[in-house]
Structure 1
Amino acid sequence: MKSRYLPQSMLLKALWLTMLLSMLSACGFQLRGQLPLQQYPALSIQAERHSALAAVLSQRLQSHQIDVLASQQEDSPHLMLHHDSLERRTLSLFPNGQVAEYELIYQVRYSIQMPDQQAQYFEFELFRDYQDDPNRALAKAQELDLMLTELREQAAQRILRQLGRLGA
């Protein structure tokens, strides 16, 4: 005769899964794409005039339904991008002495001032290896532009995660 009940092993798996999900929800776990800044519907960004990183940050904030203000307001966070730069360091050479591989170093310095608090300063570096080929200069230039775009995207996500930690 077949039993109408679930086998004991399936019941244990379901119980473990339920416990795991309840523990994750109890500890405040959120997926990475979420930005916990609902208490601040607006934020101001101060940066150099044509900063590509500021543009990426503005775009990310707007995708999270956060208004980007033109000037600093007392009741909203203020993000100031002090410096972002790209340096490259030679890693290896071809036998003829030309550079074969670079290390790209993207440096970002910024500060965040939450309402009624002092500004907090942050700095980080992101690294990428880049192989150069003088015979394919145009393709390598496009690859470098794509890599720089990805570095800016990663930097923006890192800044927003820091902003979320301060706002929580």
Structure 2
Amino acid sequence: MSTIPATTPGLQPIGPRPVPVSRIGVLDRLAALEAMLKAFLERWSIPALRVALGAVFVAFGVLKFFPGVSPVEPLVEATWGVLTFGLVGGQLALVLTAIIETVAGVALISGVFARFGLVMLAIAFVGILSPLVFFPGELFAATGPTLLGQYVLKNVVLIAAALVVASKALRGPVRSAR
């Protein structure tokens, strides 16, 4: 049996012809990969952020159901006391905070009630950021934020995340900025 050399004139290879690397190019391939990554991120990044935000609030909210577990119990009780002019404090303040945070988190995780969860988060953020106004001495020392202050300040990132999730969850026409 004889073999026909691949360079035999008049014979064409079977199947599609390979495209020379010079026509596709590495940059074109990278651009295609980048476009695929962008499409993936546009589809999944905000839902992932919504679930992650919800999980954080469920985790920290559930801690407040158990006395002595959350490191911010005294701050929560004091903040509720100031915000309600002394009507709510102690264990009731912790349970109310736990309910608000946990319900908001579960609503965000489910996705079905995400808008309701965002409203609950807006309420929670009032209480979460109030210590910056009411108790700055406990949150900041001469050298910078205390551990408690850092715990409160990290919520700026959670607020930004909630704004991104809200941009996707809220309904209504999109208006251009002028």
TM-score, normalized by the shorter chain, greater than 0.5 = no
Q: Classify the TM-score, shorter chain.
A: under 0.3
For normalisation by structure 1, the TM-score amounts to: 0.27
Please say which structure displays the higher CA radius of gyration.
2
* TM-score (norm. length: structure 2): 0.26
Q: Which has the higher strand share?
A: 1
**Higher helix proportion (structure 1 or 2):** 2
